[in-house]
A and B are shown apart, each in its own frame.
Chain A
Amino acid sequence: MLLNGAQILIEVLAKQGVNTVFGYPGGAVLNIYDELYKSSDRIKHVITAHEQGAVHAADGYARASGKTGVVIATSGPGATNLITGIANAYLDSVPMVAITGNVPTSMLGKDSFQEVDIVDITQSIVKHNFIVRDIKKLEKTLNEAFLIASSGRKGPVLVDIPKNIQAEVCEYLNQEVTLKKNKKKPVKNDFKRAIEIIKQSKKPYIYCGGGIIAGNAEKEVFELSKKISAPIGFSMMGLSAVPSDYELNLGMCGMHGRYVASKAQSEADLVIAVGVRFSDRATGNTEKYREKCQVIHIDIDETEIDKNVKTKMGLCGDVKQILSEIIDKVPNFINPDWIDEVKEYKKISAYQEDNNFNPKNIIETVSNYMNDDTVVATDVGQHQMWTVQHYKFKNTRTLLTSGGLGTMGYGFGAAIGGCFANNKRKTVFFTSDGSFGMNLNEFATAVTQKLPLVIVVLNNGVLGMVRQWQGMFYDKRFSETTLERKTDFPMLAKAFGAKGFKVENLGELNEVLKNLKDDGPCLIDCIIGKDEKVLPMIPPGGSIKDIVIK
């Protein structure tokens, strides 16, 4: 079958099971958009307000659905507007295929209108990228891009398609591709050793990251925890993997993690780290980290083993398979002393129970009105930490948050993508006045698409996280973090065609949440104090000994 390049793209998208893409049209992708127009029954295209919104939407869609997110942008500024979103997906290992148009191959390298070398620009923030200069290679390249994005440690892949390639015609082969890359042998005969180490442990602790969710190993982690009575602590990326009401789920550890999660990790004699990369935010001082315990590190990416923390042993391969094998071979055992010790740590909390209108109570109140499968997106900063500390996550893939890159402005696009992935069901987006200001233009998308987003703005009038650091480490010199803006968020919501409410106490918040309708976005502007802090806090490079609780 003879097809042009744009038609080949549509065929490959359909073959790869893609039914929703996010993007923004432009001169160098006119051919692609012409085919999208003709194929709207097969592929839904969601136009956002800005390419950054589109790429975050593709990211959120991928995290919530487990499928590969797809974003399309034109050449030049369209392509460069994707960069933050691609880097965000790269740092959090999110499967994504970014399609960019470019000037015709004859115009490449001539500083033509809207020409940038996006392959060169994105090289260090993609798993791989391609420019297609020969129509005969287009089909294979696109299929390869999907395979690379979704295999092994997942990540973003960019395919740059010059305009003439979109128009040229060649035979569509409907071909299958395999990666030529030599596969790593999964795990050698190391299981025996790992089982021995686990059996000898009196205080085992399972430390989970996003690799659990990416590797569909949520059930296995839960089973292992029960079998060896090991509490589980999470990096932020792993948080929704195990229900928050499971008694051995200690929540997030690290810089702003719960005291019990960090303390238990530091007291453990064995940490089984699964699908985590020991990021500095989650680990703190990597030298002090191993003072008491040994580490078994299980990860699909061999480069992560011994990268940040020296391990007793590494098991490299599919985390689900490795955990299943360990569960099979390890005997049941209980450690009542260890569990009691952990229970004691649980009593220490940075937060009090009260009825004040503070971030904890706001997030818990919102949480009460949501379902187990409600997708929650956040922006970046204090509100993000409060959300991951206090929201009661039940189902996996319900948290969309920027972990590695810490991208303010990530949340709106991600919430839109997550909402599409969850059949346009109610989706919560926690943000703050600072982060929200970055990409609030996506209100236009949410309204047009009639998305039932509940946008909760924790509005303190300051850039709270930076202010918190200025307060703690810079003698309260609050340089450029007091915003003094006059933005009226509920009115802004109305201007975009959405509903908006301002609430100043829990009663008002409950009232708004009770009357929520799922017919479009609704903003709830929660006015909170500017000196609310995220606690506990382990200062950068510190250990549990340095933790600040109150």
Chain B
Amino acid sequence: MKFTIGVIVSNSFGVLNRVTAVYSKRGCNIDSLSVGETENQEYSRITILSEADDYLIKQIFKQLEKLHDVREAFLFDDKNSFSREHVFIKLSVNSKSKSKIIVKVNDFGGKIIDFGNDFVSFEISNTHDKISEIINKFKKHEILEVSRSGLTAISYGTENMLRVED
């Protein structure tokens, strides 16, 4: 089962290592990971998408909470949160395919950011699964580069906010 955990961590050396080690020690592969600063420069926020069974999800969540550098952790799901991933795709194009691709990018709500005679680059924001689907759809063209941001998420409402209260 796929699961997404968000953690607020101290902004110090080696934190990312400690967090990812909780997954790797249990043989759990990380599908997506994003890290960013927060409104408080002492803390960063990490969002991790992975896959495991119920037992392992609970273990990983509790082990993350136990880390000294982790201040808060939250288990996101479709019902309690909104998630997004950003992707940059660079495609090889020719005069024939170019216009079709531009239409397709617009259909997916994307935006062209760079182009030349033989290539076009664009960006799209969507859910993790949808981004994977979109990349698949462009596979009939020659994909030159793909760069995904990693998933990030935020809870609905104000009840389950992932923030540090000092």
The chain A residues found within 8 Å of chain B, CB to CB, are 119-120, 123-124, 127-128, 131, 148, 179-182, 301-303, 306-307
CA distance A182 to B71 in the complex (A): 7
User: Which chain A residues lie closer than 8 Å to B18 at the CB level?
Assistant: 123
State how many angstroms separate the Cβ of B166 from the closest Cβ of chain A. 8
Q: Which of B58, B68, B72 contacts A306 (CB 8 A)?
A: B58
Q: Which of B25, B62, B70 contacts A303 (CB 8 A)?
A: B62
Q: Which of B68, B71, B166 contacts A128 (CB 8 A)?
A: B68
CB of B59 within 8 A of CB of A307, answer yes
Would you list which residues of chain B between 110 and 157 have a CB under 8 Å from chain A? none
The chain B residues found within 8 Å of chain A, CB to CB, are 10, 13-14, 17-18, 21, 25, 55, 58-59, 62-63, 65-72, 166
Q: How many A-B residue pairs have CB under 8 A?
A: 36
State how many angstroms separate the Cβ of A146 from the closest Cβ of chain B. 13
User: Which chain A residues lie closer than 8 Å to B166 at the CB level?
Assistant: 180
Q: Which of B17, B63, B71 contacts A120 (CB 8 A)?
A: B17
User: Which chain A residues lie closer than 8 Å to B69 at the CB level?
Assistant: 128
Closest 4 CB pairs of A and B: A128-B68, A303-B62, A303-B63, A302-B62
When A120-B14, A303-B63 are in contact, do A127 and B21 touch as well, CB less than 8 Å?
no
CB of A303 within 8 A of CB of B68, answer no
CA distance A306 to B62 in the complex (A): 11
CA distance A123 to B63 in the complex (A): 14
19 contacts between A and B (CB under 8 A): A119-B14, A123-B14, A123-B18, A123-B21, A124-B21, A128-B68, A148-B68, A179-B68, A180-B71, A180-B166, A181-B68, A182-B72, A301-B66, A302-B65, A302-B66, A303-B59, A306-B55, A306-B58, A307-B59
State how many angstroms separate the Cβ of A313 from the closest Cβ of chain B. 15
Closest-by-CB residue of B relative to A305 is B62
| Interface-centre pick from B13, B62, B66, B68 (highest chain A CB count, 10 A) | B68
CA distance A342 to B55 in the complex (A): 35
Closest-by-CB residue of A relative to B18 is A123
CA distance A306 to B71 in the complex (A): 23
User: Which chain B residues lie closer than 8 Å to A119 at the CB level?
Assistant: 13-14
User: Which chain B residues lie closer than 8 Å to A301 at the CB level?
Assistant: 66
CA distance A14 to B14 in the complex (A): 29
Closest-by-CB residue of A relative to B64 is A303
Q: Which of A120, A127, A131 contacts B68 (CB 8 A)?
A: A127
Q: Which of A124, A181, A302, A303 contacts B71 (CB 8 A)?
A: A181
State how many angstroms separate the Cβ of B143 from the closest Cβ of chain A. 36
CA distance A180 to B62 in the complex (A): 17
User: Which chain A residues lie closer than 8 Å to B21 at the CB level?
Assistant: 123-124
CA distance A181 to B68 in the complex (A): 7
User: Which chain A residues lie closer than 8 Å to B55 at the CB level?
Assistant: 306
State how many angstroms separate the Cβ of A131 from the closest Cβ of chain B. 7
CA distance A302 to B64 in the complex (A): 11
State how many angstroms separate the Cβ of A309 from the closest Cβ of chain B. 12
State how many angstroms separate the Cβ of B21 from the closest Cβ of chain A. 6
State how many angstroms separate the Cβ of B13 from the closest Cβ of chain A. 7
CA distance A131 to B17 in the complex (A): 14
| Interface-centre pick from A119, A127, A131, A180 (highest chain B CB count, 10 A) | A180
Closest-by-CB residue of A relative to B10 is A180
CB of A123 within 8 A of CB of B17, answer yes
CA distance A119 to B18 in the complex (A): 11
CA distance A459 to B161 in the complex (A): 62
User: Which chain B residues lie closer than 8 Å to A123 at the CB level?
Assistant: 14, 17-18, 21
Closest-by-CB residue of B relative to A316 is B62
CB of A124 within 8 A of CB of B25, answer yes
State how many angstroms separate the Cβ of A403 from the closest Cβ of chain B. 20
Closest-by-CB residue of A relative to B166 is A180
State how many angstroms separate the Cβ of A384 from the closest Cβ of chain B. 27
CB of B14 within 8 A of CB of A303, answer no
User: Which chain A residues lie closer than 8 Å to B67 at the CB level?
Assistant: 128
User: Which chain B residues lie closer than 8 Å to A120 at the CB level?
Assistant: 14, 17
Closest-by-CB residue of B relative to A152 is B66
State how many angstroms separate the Cβ of B11 from the closest Cβ of chain A. 13
Closest-by-CB residue of A relative to B73 is A182
Closest-by-CB residue of A relative to B21 is A124
CA distance A180 to B164 in the complex (A): 10
User: Which chain A residues lie closer than 8 Å to B25 at the CB level?
Assistant: 124
Task: Given contacts A128-B68, A181-B68, A303-B62, list 13 more A-B pairs with CB under 8 A.
Answer: A120-B14, A120-B17, A123-B14, A123-B17, A123-B18, A124-B25, A179-B68, A181-B71, A302-B65, A303-B59, A303-B66, A306-B58, A307-B59
CA distance A291 to B63 in the complex (A): 28
CA distance A128 to B18 in the complex (A): 9
State how many angstroms separate the Cβ of A286 from the closest Cβ of chain B. 12
CA distance A119 to B15 in the complex (A): 12
CA distance A307 to B61 in the complex (A): 12
CA distance A119 to B68 in the complex (A): 14
CA distance A127 to B70 in the complex (A): 13
State how many angstroms separate the Cβ of A455 from the closest Cβ of chain B. 37
State how many angstroms separate the Cβ of A138 from the closest Cβ of chain B. 15
User: Which chain B residues lie closer than 8 Å to A181 at the CB level?
Assistant: 68, 70-71
CA distance A179 to B69 in the complex (A): 10
User: Which chain B residues lie closer than 8 Å to A127 at the CB level?
Assistant: 68
User: Which chain A residues lie closer than 8 Å to B65 at the CB level?
Assistant: 302
State how many angstroms separate the Cβ of A382 from the closest Cβ of chain B. 31
State how many angstroms separate the Cβ of A364 from the closest Cβ of chain B. 42
User: Which chain A residues lie closer than 8 Å to B14 at the CB level?
Assistant: 119-120, 123
CB of A131 within 8 A of CB of B62, answer no
Closest-by-CB residue of B relative to A129 is B14
State how many angstroms separate the Cβ of B72 from the closest Cβ of chain A. 7
User: Which chain B residues lie closer than 8 Å to A179 at the CB level?
Assistant: 68
User: Which chain B residues lie closer than 8 Å to A302 at the CB level?
Assistant: 62, 65-66
State how many angstroms separate the Cβ of B48 from the closest Cβ of chain A. 18
CA distance A124 to B25 in the complex (A): 9
State how many angstroms separate the Cβ of A499 from the closest Cβ of chain B. 47
State how many angstroms separate the Cβ of B14 from the closest Cβ of chain A. 6
